Amino acid sequence: SGLQMEPSGGEQEPGAVRLLDLPWEDVLLPHVLSRVPLRQLLHLQRVSKAFQALVLLHLARLRSFDSAQVGPQVPRAALGRLLSDSEGLQELCLESCRDWLSDEDLEPVLSRNPGLRRVGLAGCGRLSRRALVTLSLSCAQLRCLSLAHCDWVDGLALRGLADRCPCLEALDLTACRQLRDTAVAYLAQRRGAQLRSLSLAVNANVGDATVQELARCCPQLEHLDLTGCLRVRSDAIRTLAEYCPRLRSLRVRHCHDVAESSLSALRKRGVDIDVEPPLQRALVLLQDVVGFAPFVNLQI
């Protein structure tokens, strides 16, 4: 039998089933609309008032929303329409709204969705500390937060987050250049017990004091990104190796004062490290220059 989109108007073929005649709760919402990309849902809304009602009901029930699924640049009005009725979001990523997203745009969404567990705000440079206050007060179950390339994140903002987010497990602070050792150490002291993943990449003011505090306070730490943290040295990495038995990956590229001697214990444990041992690098260079490399047992 045929399947017709429009619920009204025109002749209907005998035996045809109109899409909107199917049960909304049992069929259309869980099994049809959940498979339609957000961008297409916006077009579907325009088909008829009945379709608009169906799409709005679906959007109100969303558990996960990523603005990138709508398009590379989402207009402010479109985001407002998409999230106006949502109250059950658990995941929210607004990185493709970075050019315009403000506290005024974000705060109502956070307040209406207290069950949020994962929030992505990377590159959203127009936000302020106020947005983090709303996030931490509204969303007590927050587990994962990306604030990468958010220059406005300062020590006070991070302290507020540490004080009010008891479930925080993963935090991306890449290129949050205002942060100092004292603020990250405070985060470690307050939330270190459950912290599993932390990126401090490209933060020139973060040094040994931070890494040593992370080592002492974060026994569950699995992933640590220190790329470009120029003040981190070998002694801090040795402390990390000693106190973080669950560490699975460590990023130390461009940390020029981190020597291989401090990384070798981690390598032996199978930790994924993004810089090759010096001997391995030398052999690769030799291969490039002369076209061959002697066999060397790298397991010695």
Q: For position 122, which CATH number holds?
A: 3.80.10.10
Tell me: do 175 and 26 sit in the same domain: no
For residues 7 and 49, what is the distance between their CA atoms, to the nearest angstrom? 10
Q: Among 9, 35, 61, which residue terminates a domain?
A: 61
Q: How many other CB atoms are found less than 10 A from the CB of residue 30? A: 14
The reported pLDDT for the residue numbered 22 is: 79
At 247, list the tokens.
Answer: 């560490």
Is the pLDDT at 137 greater than 90? The verdict is: yes
Domain residues for the domain of 53 are 20-61
Tell me: do 194 and 204 sit in the same domain: yes
Q: What percent of the chain has pLDDT over 70?
A: 87
Within-domain flag for 80 = yes
Please report which confidence band the pLDDT of residue 19 belongs to, taking 50, 70 and 90 as the band edges.
Answer: confident
Is the pLDDT at 280 greater than 70? The verdict is: no
**What's the pLDDT tens digit per position in 234-252?**
999 999 999 999 999 999 9
Q: In the chain, where do the E strands start and end?
A: 3-4, 17-18, 64-66, 91-93, 118-120, 144-146, 170-172, 197-199, 223-225, 249-251, 272-273
Stretch 47-59: mean pLDDT:
84
Distances in Å between the alpha carbon of 159 and those of 65, 132, 181, 190?
27, 10, 12, 9
When mean pLDDT is compared across 112-126, 173-187, 274-288, the lowest value belongs to: 274-288
Tell me: do 145 and 214 sit in the same domain: yes
Is the pLDDT at 8 greater than 60? The verdict is: no
Higher pLDDT, 77 or 27: 77
Q: Tell me the average pLDDT of the chain.
A: 88
Tell me: do 282 and 197 sit in the same domain: yes
Within-domain flag for 7 = no
**What's the pLDDT tens digit per position in 202-236?**
999 999 999 999 999 999 999 999 999 999 999 99
Within-domain flag for 267 = yes
Is the pLDDT at 12 greater than 60? The verdict is: no
The reported pLDDT for the residue numbered 214 is: 98
Model pTM score: 0.84
Tell me: do 183 and 132 sit in the same domain: yes
Is the pLDDT at 2 greater than 50? The verdict is: no
